[in-house]
Structure 1
Amino acid sequence: MLLPVTDTDGAPFWEYARRGELRVQSCDDCGRLRFPPRPCCPYCRSFRSSWRQMSGRGRIWSYVFPHPPLLPDYAEQAPYNVIVVELAEEAGPEGGRIRLVGNLVARADARLDSVDPARLRIGAAVKAAFHPVSEEITVVRWLLERP
């Protein structure tokens, strides 16, 4: 399995995930959420930020089944899904939502092909689950609200 590469801006995301928390960077001045993390707010240009805990709930905004699998390490789990989840929380006063990429699985530690492809639907309610893949990295995966 490939491990995510962390950087200074995104390191807190991975630390919170390791604790089982889904947090998104928030501007301390205008209050807007932003993802991916970055040093400066793209809306008000502030360099002040904190990490706001999310509910861990969202909806499938889009999905794909890579054919052929894009990386050899994942070939034995094909067909697997890659989903885009739109979080339940609004990103700012104008609306809009944060979207995260991940996989829909039957349980946090399940294989990537553990959900029948026929069960994926745009708009399906999902919740975050956390799967440790190394001592330092825990990835966010997604479970259907109604399995």
Structure 2
Amino acid sequence: MVFKRGRRVSSSAQVSMEYLIVISFVFMLIIPLTIYFVGQSQTATGEVNTAQLEQVSRKIVENAEKVYAFGEPTTFTLKVYIPDKVESVTIANNEIEFIINRDGSPSSVVEIFPMNVSGSLSTHQGIHKIRVQAINNSVAISEVS
């Protein structure tokens, strides 16, 4: 036993107290690091989702150009992956626009077509079958069930 200013303190109590101090110090390091890495992970996820939408929109535009060049009644069917947090898809005139929620704020991915297009796509996450079809000097884009 160790005496400290008139009190008796056992060595096991001292070891326990040192152990608690070490553990609390470790937690003080781990918690901020965890918060930082979770934030970085969410940022990376948003960037990946945006990159996937850019790839999808480019693929749709490329296939629409081919279908338009071949003329009516050419039809292509694509399989594309729509990521999470897509809020809306607009296909009109000569552009396709995806609105995605990135870190709480909307961000848009836009691709321009060299011809008139029309159509609609759903926004749910997952693999979608998309029909790209030449109709009357324009291109129709729709989802296949």
User: Shorter-normalised TM-score: what interval?
Assistant: under 0.3
Calculate the TM-score normalised by the size of structure 1: 0.26
| Bigger fraction of residues in strand | 2
Q: Considering only CA atoms, is the larger Rg found in Structure 1 or Structure 2?
A: 2
| TM-score after normalising by structure 2 | 0.26
